[in-house]
Amino acid sequence: MTGLRWEAGESPEAFVDFCAGALPEVYGYLLARCGDRATAEELTSATFEAAVSAVRRATVTHLSTGWLIVVARRRLIDHWRHEERDARRIEAFACDEIEVATYDWDDTIDPPVGMLALARLGPHHRAALTLRYVDGLSVAEVARELARGHDATEALLQRARRAFRRAYEEVRTHA
């Protein structure tokens, strides 16, 4: 991270400069994780709205790019939660998923194929895998971020890895 900071009491222009300097990093963080420009733009906007609100309410004495990234991560998780709820409503009308046999995953992942495969997953699987393997959070941290229990998160990660393997193979064979 660039280490940009803004301190309470600085001029409004300093706040604008801080936001302008941090914008590419926040947007890049979100775009790399959601893969969709419109969603990344919407979540970036929500992140900076949160910063403006916090400054107006005087609930923060300083801002940093790290603070903004944490807010961006929370906005992304909220976005995935909303998608997950919507997907569950749709799934209520769909057939049960057919279980696919699992196998060892020893191959190195091709990043472009991996991103395409990740985009095919449901939001709950995408969120869990991104937090665990892209952001490098521990299972306990993923559980905390997703407001789930530890065992439920481990089960979710196992299902997500299986879904990713299927999607990865599908993308790879059709590429």
Indicate which CATH number applies to the domain containing 76.
1.10.1740
Same-domain pairing of 18 and 78:
yes
Check residue 91 and give its pLDDT: 52
> Does residue 30 form part of some domain?
yes
C-alpha 31/C-alpha 48 separation (Å) is 15
Among 81, 65, 169, which Cα is nearest to 131's?
81
What pLDDT score does 95 carry?
Answer: 41
Count CB-CB contacts under 10 A for residue 20: 10
Please check whether residues 76 and 112 belong to one and the same domain.
no
- 16 and 41, same structural domain? yes
CATH code at position 169 = 1.10.10.10
Q: How many domains does the chain divide into? A: 2
Same domain as 78, residue 102 = no
The pLDDT value recorded for residue 112 is 83
Are 108 and 157 in the same domain? yes
For the entire predicted model, the pTM comes to 0.59
| 151 CB-near residues (< 8 Å, 6+ apart) | none
Backbone angles phi, psi at 18, to 5 degrees: -60, -50
- In a domain? residue 158: yes
Dump strand ranges (E) for 81-153. none
**Host domain of residue 159:** 97-174
In a domain, 90, yes or no: no
Type of residue found at 103: Y
The low-confidence residues of the chain, meaning pLDDT below 50, are: 1, 92-104, 106
Residue with tokens 């903004």: 68
In eight-state DSSP terms, residue 70 is H
Report pLDDT for 12: 86
- The verdict on residue 88 lying in a domain is no
